[in-house]
A and B are shown apart, each in its own frame.
Chain A
Amino acid sequence: MSVSDLRLFEMRRPADLPDVCAVLAERVSRSEPTVLLAGGTDWLVEQETRPAFAKEAALPLVLDVSRLPALRGITLDGDRLRIGAAATYLDMRRDPAVLARAPMLERMGRDIGAIQIQARGTLGGNLATASPAADGVTALAAYDATLVVHSVRGERRIPFASLQTAYKRSTRAADEVIVAVEIDLPPAGSPWIWRKVGTRRAQSISKVALAGVAVREGDRLTRLGLGMASVAPVTALLSRVRTLATSRPLRDLTAADIDAAVDADVSPIDDIRSTRDYRAHCARSVVRAFLRDLGAPV
């Protein structure tokens, strides 16, 4: 396809969330392709590079959800942060609640791309695209976030751990709209890490990225959330590292044990952005660095 073919697409601006759900349900039931468009930072690029559609009738209908009030806004209710799926990374970076209570999200948003991308890109889009290299999704994995989705059947919540099933595949149904993500925040001031390894700080897809949040009581971690990008077919939750690091005092953690857990948790590959060996090396290094910061003698 070329950019001139974008003229062929039909786009509608649904009035509200029930309208989106109704249109989506009807089209999915007829196997008609439909795209929910927010910032377009992935989808528009894909259209320019993809093969031409066989016939015009097969073009997906585009539903613009970027301005739907139900998908926007960032709210803090007690310790629960709710971020609308169509809130932009720039919205997130400037939000007082995010700055005060979820600084890792703000830091991640700074690296997701240049400010032009931050001003358009959304967590909902990042989740829908479902790339295992997605920085935003990696941060959500560390927070063990919950997806809030809507359809004509009503609202459903999907815990992050049961979201991703395979490369770019998830348990979200085709007629479900991502409305928001909810995060049960650790106490204010809790330690966190965001570390992106790439050819540039932003404006590059991660070779490896680590997101982490922790709650420490004395020499023990009572909560450890981790997410890692670009080291597996899905966002890696590093479950063995989580189990290891919360099962014993920090002083008893060893570099060898941590490295072995990381190696068991990731399955990196060689591709155009990096090599399997370098990714594995980075994965071990950044996890050790976070645990070292938390007090492990590694």
Chain B
Amino acid sequence: MKISFKVNGAARELDAPPLQRLLDALRLVLGLTGTKEGCAEGECGACTVLLDGEPVNACLVPVGQCQGREITTVEGLGAAGHLSPLQRCFIDHGGAQCGICTPGVLISAEHLLRRNPDPDDDAIREALAGNLCRCTGYQRIIESVRAAAVLRRADARDVGDPRDVGDARGARDVSHDRQEAP
């Protein structure tokens, strides 16, 4: 089945089995290996990506259902040297350890902060309830998201346009150039 969709802002076209998991299409076909595979049954959230702006487990999304839709992976948030405030806060506050869960956590946190720029800890915990981490004990992840929220609000005040908050658009373009499908 021919599938046209946008990944991290760039138009992509695949000829793939329709029931192939979006996770495999991203990793194996498009070379976007930032999205990780954990449980493969929708429990752990390691493969979380945004589908039309909403967080989904890419292990449970057939790529055939992505026709005409927009996907954002962790590569769409920022790249080495051009990290988004959210990614930077995970480094600064120890929110990432082994790193397998981190891309999914970042995507869920990005979704939260786009909808709620000033979340309390309960809101952060609920937003990340579908992302399991076996390293951090979660507290540092919560602190990282809380710090990112403060940073993004400050950026928004400086920039004056809340839609620009944390987009790291320049970094996103760089990542596209580097991650063209083979």
Contact = CB atoms under 8 A, between A and B. Distances in A.
A259 interface: no
Contacts of A11: 1, 18-19, 62, 64
A201 interface: yes
Interface stretch (B37-45, B86-94, B140-148, B171-179): B37-45
A110 B62 CA distance: 24
B35 interface: no
A6 B19 CA distance: 5
Q: Which of A3, A10, A13, A62 has the most CB of B within 10 A?
A: A3
A62 B41 CA distance: 19
A119 B54 contact: yes
Given A45-B42, A203-B129, A40 B1 contact: no
A33 B18 CA distance: 18
A116 B45 contact: yes
Q: Which of A40, A44, A114, A200 has the most CB of B within 10 A?
A: A114
A13 B41 contact: no
A213 B61 CA distance: 34
B51 A44 contact: no
Interface in B37-85: 40-43, 45, 48, 51, 54-57, 59-62, 64-65, 67
B127 interface: yes
Contacts of B36: none
A141 interface: no
Interface in A222-256: none
B61 A6 contact: no
A113 B131 CA distance: 11
A3 B62 CA distance: 11
B19 A62 contact: yes
A119 B108 contact: no
A41 interface: yes
Interface in A172-193: none
Interface in A31-68: 37, 39-41, 44-45, 48-49, 62, 64, 66-67
Interface of A: 3, 6-11, 13, 37, 39-41, 44-45, 48-49, 62, 64, 66-67, 90, 110, 113-117, 119-120, 200-203
Given A119-B54, A120-B61, A203-B130, 4 more contacts: A6-B62, A41-B42, A110-B126, A115-B54
23 contacts: A3-B21, A6-B20, A9-B19, A10-B18, A37-B62, A44-B42, A44-B59, A45-B60, A48-B40, A62-B19, A64-B64, A66-B65, A114-B131, A115-B54, A115-B111, A116-B55, A116-B108, A117-B57, A119-B51, A119-B54, A120-B61, A200-B129, A202-B130
